[in-house]
Amino acid sequence: MTNPHPQNNNPEKESASSRRSLLTKLWVLLGIVALAELIGIVFAFLKPNPKKSSAADRAAIIVAGPVDTFQPGTVTAFVRGKFYLVRLEDGGFLALSRSCTHLGCTVPWVAKENKFICPCHSSEFDIRGEVISPPAPRALDLYQIIIENNVLKVDTNKRKKRSEFTAGQITYPKKT
Residue range 55-85, pLDDT digits in tens = 554 558 899 999 999 999 999 998 887 899 9
Contacts (Cβ under 8 Å, ≥6 apart) of 3 = 9
What's residue 28's pLDDT?
Answer: 93
The CATH architecture that domain 59-169 belongs to is: 3-layer Sandwich (2.102)
What pLDDT, in 10s, does the model give residues 88-103? 999 999 999 999 998 8
Please state the pTM of the whole predicted model: 0.64
In the chain, beta strands by DSSP E: 61-66, 74-78, 83-87, 93-97, 109-110, 115-117, 124-125, 131-133, 142-148, 151-160
pLDDT at 6 over 60: no
Contacts of 151 (CB under 8 A, 6+ apart): 63, 64, 65, 66, 67
Predicted confidence (pLDDT) per residue in 102-148, tens digit: 888 999 999 999 999 999 999 999 999 999 999 999 999 999 999 99
The domains of the chain are located at 9-49, 59-169
